[in-house]
Structure 1
């Protein structure tokens, strides 16, 4: 196969190439692969959209209802849910893109959806990092930073994170466009702007995985020993939550980032690009990408619904929205542990 046929775009959105490039090897051998990708992506993206919308919308509603009792943790959680909502709102478009094999929504929507997708992705990651740093400071350096955790600080942090996310995503708003080739319409970088594909790969790997993972491991490795020495009845639960946060983040995003990097190496002919490697790497990118996107469904569970206070608020809201639901539930249904002083502050930071 020639270099032209092997080369494929490295953007997150070039779904049509998953189908058209396989045709170079013969439809008899790869028709089953194309059908799998079409059904798999369309189905999983639709499922992620439904679950992600329900979970994150409930988080937003609960936090808005109790906005007068909000703290820095609540503000970060609220913006994390907004980020995930922005992310999942783009998935129906990509589900359709994957199913039909070409972009059908026009140039404006191509830029808007691509940029919004990236902005939602990066803001979600950045707010998770902000929550990690906040937990580290309030637990390891509680006496120094407690007075700085004000509403004003939360607003400043929120504005900075959204501005940074938008800035990192600007190339998608500016340079991605609806393009046409022999296989139909695509939503991709044009040939003269292909340099931004390497930028896209770099930012997603470095800002989307490496730096957040290093921050999580570094902060939580200091937090856990501090927690163990505290006299709180929930320290073991908090440690398990910490481990869950890091493990889920790594195992959902690392395979996708590794697959994209392998595809980049393959396109540069640094690793083999025969038909077997070609098929396996493309399939790996497709599958790992779809599962990585499920992280936006898990964020409400990991960061909100594991908490007693938040769960109590959510059930109270559902009880008002759905008559008869949670009729027998009361605050006493949940734990009554009220360890005071620093331990209670630490507990409320993790277990909302």
Structure 2
């Protein structure tokens, strides 16, 4: 991949947007699920907390990639190159595992409501989360292998002297890397995606045939299911298809960098899926938005005769009533 000014600006824009929107949303989600797990956890809470941690780790290492894009070459200490790549790709596949487990949890909850409720255990979700982390990290350890593979060859360039990060591969390296990428496509993307499709299609079908469920709850649950499938299609599918194209052509496709950009959006889209999945998170978001609106709008009401965002008189009355009750 050859860096250009246009590509650098595009990468910085996408990464910057993901960081600015994803970081506060995931911090709120982490606080909410951490409190729930401490008090009275469910398997869903454990899975959502683990996925939130994965997204936060991803966002923490994203600035290293932004520095590379800004300089259009790798200028940081070289040990950060395989480390940031390892975290970058591991958290992407970690998300696919967790989103799939959430779909299974949702499907079993509506397909076998009584039987599954008696057997559900947060400990099983914790074990599953640990397995997901191990599997995704074990598969993506290929990043370290590729960065230092063939180091004993006298014609091999010392990685620490390069100004590129996980981009240039020798034919010997590609013989190892391309089959591994194909395996990533089959095991870490296709299998979870098919399971997710099955669970959510059945999930939507069952909900559509249950007239006793509140319409608002039904639409919210269906929105969560469709949102998850869209994340798979928009965020994960292009990048994983590049594995197949690269294997067929025996080289990485030029558009792979653009496909990888869509994967980063997952970190800022996950909180919206959490919003549909957790009433506690909806309450947290609502409280935060109300607090922000109160701090921003009330000063406006005190200094202007008209404020389109809030009824000034009612807002002032509530504020005065709260002050009086405190006194």
Higher Cα Rg, which structure: 2
Structure 1, residues 246-284: CA drift from partner, whole Å, max 9, x if none? 13321332233334533443446xxxxxxxxx9xx52x3
Question: Alignment partner for residue 133 of structure 2, among 162, 178, 185?
Answer: 162
Counterpart CA distance in 2 for 1:53 and 1:66 is 20
Are the aligned partners of 1:177 and 1:190 in contact in 2 as well (CA < 8 Å)? no
Query: Structure 1's 91 and 266: CA in aligned 2 closer, same or farther, altered over 3 A?
Result: same
Q: How does 1:1-352 map to 2 (within 5 A)?
A: 17-19=1-3, 34-67=4-37, 68-177=39-148, 184-188=162-166, 191=170, 192-230=172-210, 231-233=212-214, 234-267=217-250, 282=254, 284-304=255-275, 307-316=278-287, 324=295
Q: SS of the residue aligned with 1:66?
A: helix
Distance 1:195 1:137 in 2: 42
Q: Do 2:146 and 2:177's aligned partners in 1 also have CA atoms closer than 8 Å?
A: no
The 10-residue stretch of structure 1 (318-327 or 70-79) with the greater mean CA deviation from structure 2: 318-327
How far, CA to CA, are the matches of 1:132 and 1:249 in structure 2?
12
Measured at CA, do residues 160 and 243 of structure 1 come closer, stay the same or move farther in structure 2, by a change above 3 Å? same
Partner of 2:306 in structure 1? Answer: none
Gaps of 5+ in 2: 150-156, 299-309, 311-327
**Aligned pair count?**
285
Distance in 1 of aligned mates of 2:279 and 2:164: 46
Task: Note if contact 1:111-1:177 (Cα within 8 Å) is conserved in structure 2.
Answer: no
Equivalent pair of 1:126/1:161 in contact (CA under 8 Å): yes
TM-score (norm 1): 0.71
